[in-house]
Structure 1
Amino acid sequence: MSDDGIPQSGRGYRRGPVLLRGNQVPQTTTDQRLLASDQESDWLHSDPWRVMRIQSEFVEGFGALAELGPAVSVFGSARTKPDHEDYRAGETVGRLLVEAGYSVITGGGPGVMEAANKGAAEAGGTSVGLGIELPFEQGVNEFVNLGINFRYFFARKTMFLKYAQGFIVMPGGFGTFDELFEAVTLVQTHKVTQFPLVLVGKEYWGGLLEWIRSTALTHGTISEADLDIMHLTDDPAEAVNHVVERVHQIEAEQAALQAAAAAERATEEAALEGPGLPSTLGGA
């Protein structure tokens, strides 16, 4: 018998898809445990309850961003001060993206993230901040006009990728590295449709790219084509222009592929139908 009173065939106790036998069979039913008034709160921290929290984060994120429209995710250090050139570059990137018709998505924190949100908000665009729960207080910066806070990094990362047509990566630390290399890996393995990925700051990123070329490529752990995934520049305007042009190029390539596939299907269907039967009307 299952814990909801449905007769079961075979030996053992079934709880949904789970089979329990011997000392794994519970002494009370699910309904009894649900309705008990003297429960402890430990279940709030159990893995099944975490699954519900994770599900809720995806539902809330998808619901909030589904109608966002074209957007670009901007990454960079939370430690960058407002008087730093990287902060000013972040403001420019945010403003130019809005002027090009894009919303701006950041991690919602201070530093470069704040700069990009500020540039977007002051240009009259949608300034998105995807915050994360951290052991030290960070919060969402004041220039975010659409904010979502996440408990789980992987749910947050999905939103960065799912709703962005491209990435612009400013100088940053481990969090920025994490987002950068995850995006590169997803493009390299074709888990996501190709999208532009721009690094801003030749002095900051140049050594990393040189190491990738001189060590990883030489060692045979990546291919020559992988080097083309990232575009490097010092100019915020060039970064935005590269994203815009590459997005249009990708869209044109996809449209051409879809048209070719449709034409091929039409040809195959015509071949399967074969030649039409000759008409006998009016024949001798």
Structure 2
Amino acid sequence: MQTSPAHAAHHGDREIETLEEFDAIVSSRGTLSGFRVQAVDLTDRTRELLTTDTSGAVFLGCRMRPDAAEKVRAGGALVLPPVPGLPFDPYRGYLYTPGDLFASLDKGYEATPDALAYAWFQRTRSDGDILASMLRAVHDDSMSDALDELLRGARVVGVMGGHAMARGTEEFRGAARLGRALTHAGFTVATGGGPGAMEAANLGAYAAPYDGSMLDDACELLAGAPSFTPSITDWARAAFEVRTRWPKGNHSIGIPTWFYGHEPPNAFASHIAKYFANATREDGLLARCNAGVVFLPGAAGTVQEVFDNATPNYYESRGEPTPMVLVDRAHWTERLPAWPLLRSLARERSMEARIALVDRIEDAPEALKRLGG
């Protein structure tokens, strides 16, 4: 799995996303013709831009000196310059890290890029400005592109569940143990990237290189700030304290959205694809869970995810149905009886052999394995 932007060169077609890739292409190919250069600061590569063929190239949000930009345009390249005043880069070539989104947390969550992007979204989402709409769309497409590059060849299991699951509870610890067990089984854990069950699963994946006592200690430390309300700042600082104490965590994926911007992303997903459009985010998250999805107890959002995942399984629109494991019989048959409907939908179809309901979270990995995950 790609672990840093510098490792993005595997896409090998026409995209350049880092300065290292730019230098390598200029040195080895001697031309930038037809390449797409995405969000790379080229202010110190003026000589290369002035002396290299750029016909048919596209420069997306690349900083460059005026004489270089003029020459590149005159040479037949399309240049979409950086957009000033934005709290995010719409042309970003790789996913976010927790450090990216929570930069300036020492000044309070309101000062972080994550909070500033949400504030921008709130200001622009309903004013009908075509530029803002375009920037959101370009950003989200860049996220999808980077996510596809990152997950190429990975066996991804999604863990879905509610944001209300509090740190310090047995449910939170169970979800964390699930994330750890799935990682040990060779899966890449993907979640909706937010608090609650999502954070717990990402925490469990993060804790995979350590022994079980580390996860217990981390959960105990986090319990001092059990929820992101009333203070996102305190909640996030507790997570970064865990990361500082145990710095060598394993990778996992978080796919949150600024549509639910009052819910912050969690700091345990190593790679974060954050979207403005929730519909794009929801579909993209489930579509990438090629080894199955575990559904922990949740409310409306989790119920939606159950049936968003069931629909392509029912029609086999993405190929062979992927496993679906629902956890907590009472929740899914009594409180929110999604299981009877899911079972009725699946009857006499291929997906019937790919769904399971288990009582305990500890049973989920074995159920996933039994279903072919």
TM range (shorter): 0.5 to 0.7
CA gap 1:147/1:233 in 2 versus in 1, 3 angstroms: same
Q: Secondary structure at the match of 2:273?
A: strand
| Percent of residue pairs identical | 26
CA gap 1:210/1:115 in 2 versus in 1, 3 angstroms: closer
Partner of 2:298: 172
Partner of 1:198: 325
Please tell me whether residue 44 in structure 1 is matched to residue 171 in structure 2.
no
The Cα of 1:200 is off from its aligned counterpart by 0.6
Q: Secondary structure at the match of 1:138?
A: coil
CA gap 1:148/1:205 in 2 versus in 1, 3 angstroms: same
Paired with 2:297 and 2:278, the residues of 1 have a C-alpha distance of 20
Q: Secondary structure at the match of 1:232?
A: strand
Partner of 1:146: 271
Radius of gyration: which is bigger?
Answer: 1
Partner of 1:268: none
Partner of 1:254: none
Please tell me whether residue 122 in structure 1 is matched to residue 207 in structure 2.
yes
Paired with 1:210 and 1:155, the residues of 2 have a C-alpha distance of 25
Q: Deviations over 1:67-94 (max 9, x none)?
A: 5x11200000001112333212211210
Partners of 1:61 and 1:159 within 8 A in 2: no
Counting only pairs closer than 5 Å after superposition, residues 225-244 of structure 1 correspond to structure 2 as 225=348, 228=352, 229-244=354-369
Q: Secondary structure at the match of 1:113?
A: helix
Aligned length: 201
Partner of 2:150: 64
Partners of 2:303 and 2:338 within 8 A in 1: no
Q: Deviations over 1:17-55 (max 9, x none)?
A: xxxxxxxxxxxxxxxxx9xxxxxx943035x66654443
Q: Secondary structure at the match of 1:150?
A: coil
Paired with 1:66 and 1:223, the residues of 2 have a C-alpha distance of 29
Partner of 2:92: none
Q: Deviations over 1:204-243 (max 9, x none)?
A: 0123156538xx95xxxx4633683531112223211121
Partners of 2:162 and 2:298 within 8 A in 1: yes
The Cα of 1:172 is off from its aligned counterpart by 0.7
Please tell me whether residue 158 in structure 1 is matched to residue 284 in structure 2.
yes
CA gap 1:241/1:210 in 2 versus in 1, 3 angstroms: closer
1:121 is matched by which residue type in structure 2? Y
Counting only pairs closer than 5 Å after superposition, residues 211-226 of structure 1 correspond to structure 2 as 211-212=340-341, 217=344, 222=345, 224-225=347-348
Please tell me whether residue 85 in structure 1 is matched to residue 170 in structure 2.
yes
Partner of 1:102: 187
CA gap 1:101/1:210 in 2 versus in 1, 3 angstroms: closer
Give 5+ residue unaligned stretches, structure 2.
Answer: 1-79, 81-127, 210-249
Which moves more between the two structures, 164-173 or 122-131?
122-131
Q: Secondary structure at the match of 1:92?
A: helix
The Cα of 1:141 is off from its aligned counterpart by 1.1
Q: Secondary structure at the match of 2:371?
A: helix
1:172 is matched by which residue type in structure 2? G
Q: Deviations over 1:162-191 (max 9, x none)?
A: 243100000011111111101111101111
1:152 is matched by which residue type in structure 2? A
Counting only pairs closer than 5 Å after superposition, residues 9-28 of structure 1 correspond to structure 2 as none
CA gap 1:140/1:225 in 2 versus in 1, 3 angstroms: same
Alpha-carbon RMSD across the aligned residues, in angstroms, is 2.7
Give 5+ residue unaligned stretches, structure 1.
Answer: 1-33, 35-40, 249-284
The Cα of 1:122 is off from its aligned counterpart by 0.4
Partners of 1:86 and 1:170 within 8 A in 2: no
CA gap 1:246/1:83 in 2 versus in 1, 3 angstroms: same
The Cα of 1:104 is off from its aligned counterpart by 0.7
1:170 is matched by which residue type in structure 2? L
Paired with 2:160 and 2:346, the residues of 1 have a C-alpha distance of 25
Partners of 1:100 and 1:244 within 8 A in 2: no
TM-score in terms of structure 2 length: 0.49
1:239 is matched by which residue type in structure 2? A
Q: Secondary structure at the match of 2:348?
A: helix
Which moves more between the two structures, 201-210 or 92-101?
201-210
Paired with 2:287 and 2:271, the residues of 1 have a C-alpha distance of 17
Partners of 1:86 and 1:171 within 8 A in 2: no
1:97 is matched by which residue type in structure 2? L
Paired with 2:299 and 2:328, the residues of 1 have a C-alpha distance of 13
Please tell me whether residue 187 in structure 1 is matched to residue 313 in structure 2.
yes
The Cα of 1:112 is off from its aligned counterpart by 0.5
